[in-house]
Amino acid sequence: MDKMKKDFSPTLLDFGPVQIYLARHFGFCYGVENAIEISFATIEENPGKRIFLLSEMIHNPQVNADLQSRGVRFLQDTYGRELIPFEELTPEDIVIIPAFGTTLEMEKKLIKAGLRIKEYNTTCPFVEKVWNRSQQIAKKDYTVIIHGKPKHEETRATFSHAAQDTASVIISDMREAELLADYIKGNRPPDRFFKEFKNQYSDGFDPIRDLRRIGLVNQTTMLASDTQAIADFLKQTMIDIFKLEENTVGEYFADTRDTLCYATNDNQTAVIELLQTGADLAIVVGGYNSSNTSHLVELCEKKLPTYFINGQEKIISAKDILHYDLQDRTEVLSTGYLPEHRPVKILLTSGASCPDAMVESIIRKLSAYFPDAVSMEEMKSRFS
Ligand code: SF4
């Protein structure tokens, strides 16, 4: 009903003793839905053929397990390590390229193996938009700075596309933006650059020559506030060094807006609004290696106890929950996550690779822990 997406206020599911505030925008994005649809259609239309996924289709364990249960096999893990030797591929096989896209080197490898890569390419158009943006910058002789996670499939793909046209370097956060600024200012010995940005710069990169004219693009799923802060910081760095005015800054810093996708923006804005609601805890659902989900967790963690889970089974009971610790990168068991007082107020959201059915099953499970809660059927009727 809110076609212009002006309303980011959460939906209250008032079960009585437990109140669940659901983010206005959460879960599956266009790119993920599109990739899943193409993958399942490919399986149906090609009985008897060997079907491979280049890596995880999306960062969701259930979706990937579902595809595997239908006979699909992964060629690489999420870090690009080979799981099945490429030499085993034949031109009769099908290889699906995931929503994150892939590197130009990988495309060449698949074409060389005789595979048809266009037909089974599920690269999200919002990722392609980033590639186009970096190409535009490259054509104007700017070096492309990519703000993203260096090992993430999407950032590796964006880097490969950018690096074919111009000098390129990946920065993962503000700390690395500040390091880069030191090289731009000439405050660090240039040869240290190669150690500090190992595996993050293009062939032949010269920190003296290639950091005088720069443009910034982002992995589509970064935290909007970080992205803005890094863009402002790098722009200001160029203004200070080259003594620029607003009308001359474009000569040294390409005038680009961020390349976050709509789903990242909508889901993060909805969480910021969700956090205005006083609550006892937050539950964020999504794959543990999902970039966009981890940023929703970071936003929630700043305000209240937050439990990052990748499935309803991680809610073990009304007392125990198994959840992912982003800092330690491990699952931990917490006891007593639901407070004793009533009503308990819970904020709930999910990342772009999490099916809505998962969110529903979590609502069902949580409400069932409260004997006096209204039924799911009653709750549904309130919204119909
Ligand atoms: S999170 Fe954004 S860029 Fe990534 S698949 Fe979804 S819509 Fe595309």
Phi then psi dihedrals of residue 218, to 5 deg: -125, 155
Whether the Cβ atoms of residue 72 and residue 148 lie closer than 8 Å to each other: no
Round to whole Å and give the CA distance between 384 and 373: 19
pLDDT for residue 60 = 82
Q: Euclidean distance between the first and final Cα of the chain, in Å? A: 13
Helix (H) or strand (E) holding 36: helix 30-45
Is the pLDDT at 330 greater than 90, yes or no?
yes
Active site residue 154: yes
Cα distances from 165 to residues 136, 140, 223, 375, in angstroms, run 10, 10, 27, 58
Residue nearest to atom 5 of ligand 1 (CA): 31
pLDDT for residue 248 = 93
pLDDT for residue 116 = 92
Please report which confidence band the pLDDT of residue 78 belongs to, taking 50, 70 and 90 as the band edges.
confident
In the chain, how long is the greatest CA-to-CA distance? 69
Average pLDDT over residues 216-244: 96
Percentage above 70 pLDDT, the chain: 100
pLDDT for residue 64 = 86
pLDDT for residue 73 = 94
pLDDT digits (tens, 9 = 90+) for 6-38: 899 999 999 999 999 999 999 999 999 999 999
C-alpha neighbours within 13 Å on the C-beta side of residue 151 = 7
pLDDT for residue 257 = 80
Q: Which residue in 185, 180, 222 sits closest to 201, CA to CA?
A: 180
Is the pLDDT at 255 greater than 80, yes or no?
no
Of 56, 154, 176, 298, which one is the catalytic site residue?
A: 154
Query: Which of 64-68, 336-340, 341-345 shows the lowest mean pLDDT across its residues?
Result: 64-68
Please report which confidence band the pLDDT of residue 286 belongs to, taking 50, 70 and 90 as the band edges.
very high
pLDDT digits (tens, 9 = 90+) for 109-148: 999 999 999 999 999 999 999 999 999 999 999 999 999 9
Structure tokens, 13: 């599911």
The chain-wide mean pLDDT, for the chain, equals: 95
Q: Which residue in 19, 59, 49 sits closest to 274, CA to CA?
A: 19
Residue of 123, 158, 217, 264 best suited for mutating to test ligand 1, as the one with most atoms within 8 Å of CB: 264
pLDDT for residue 55 = 86
Residue of 32, 38, 260 best suited for mutating to test ligand 1, as the one with most atoms within 8 Å of CB: 32
Q: Which residue in 130, 41, 26 sits closest to 354, CA to CA?
A: 26
pLDDT digits (tens, 9 = 90+) for 206-225: 999 999 999 999 999 999 99
pLDDT for residue 374 = 96
Residue nearest to atom 8 of ligand 1 (CA): 31
Phi then psi dihedrals of residue 270, to 5 deg: -65, -35
Please report which confidence band the pLDDT of residue 172 belongs to, taking 50, 70 and 90 as the band edges.
very high
Please report which confidence band the pLDDT of residue 194 belongs to, taking 50, 70 and 90 as the band edges.
very high
pLDDT for residue 131 = 97
Cα distances from 335 to residues 140, 315, 317, 320, 339, in angstroms, run 56, 11, 9, 5, 10
Average pLDDT over residues 178-187: 97
From ligand 1's centre to the CA of 348, what distance in Å?
A: 20
